[in-house]
Amino acid sequence: MLTFGTVIGEKETYSTNIKITKISQFFQKIQKKTLNDTEINIVFHLPDSSFKLDYCGIRDGKFSKKERTIMIQVAVPMEIILSEDDNEVWDYLTQSIADSIKLGKVKFDWYNVEYDPTPDIQALEKMKFEIPLDRYNGFEKKYDKLEKEKKYIDELAKKFGL
């Protein structure tokens, strides 16, 4: 099971934090926790001009054998946070999740805790298709609205002989 969190700076991190929130909501919706589940808690660290990180990439954090949980921390680079290319940001976030699953598997094996990454990988693959579709559906709605407005303006122009 995957859960998500963020440690954020101030202003510059807003749009990336929104994307992580969407990811978290998606996983909450499709995953059901059972008594013997292992959990990877992926915490994205989003620095800004007032909050600097002392590491880059991903690293393991707190581990609990009793609770069968491990925290994986992901340092999101400023160039990703400031990127205006949504695809670049989504690609970074999804790759970070995949890398976190791999690191989680290694750590669970190290501590002799049984963990099958298959359901988490399947959920990630499902997310890769569903969340971008939401983005594109929003774009289509905006595009349709613009097309309607353009038709209305064209009709007005004809009516007034312009």
Let me know: does 38 contact 66? Beta carbons within 8 Å: no
Low-confidence spans in the chain with pLDDT less than 70: 10-14, 33-36, 132-150, 162
Let me know: does 52 contact 15? Beta carbons within 8 Å: no
Q: What's phi and psi for 68, nearest 5 deg?
A: 60, 45
Q: Give the CA radius of gyration of the chain.
A: 21
Q: Is the pTM of this model over 0.95?
A: no
What letter would DSSP give residue 37? Answer: -
Nearest alpha-carbon partner for 115 in 38, 27, 41 = 38
Quick one: tokens of 91? 């690609």
Find all residues with CB under 8 Å of 37, minimum gap 6, and list them.
1, 68
**What is the pLDDT at residue 36?**
65
The torsion defined by the Cα of 10, 15, 17 and 23, in degrees rounded to 10, comes to: 180
In 10 A of CB 17, how many CB atoms? 17
pLDDT tens-place string over residues 22-67: 888 888 888 776 656 889 999 999 887 777 788 888 998 898 888 8
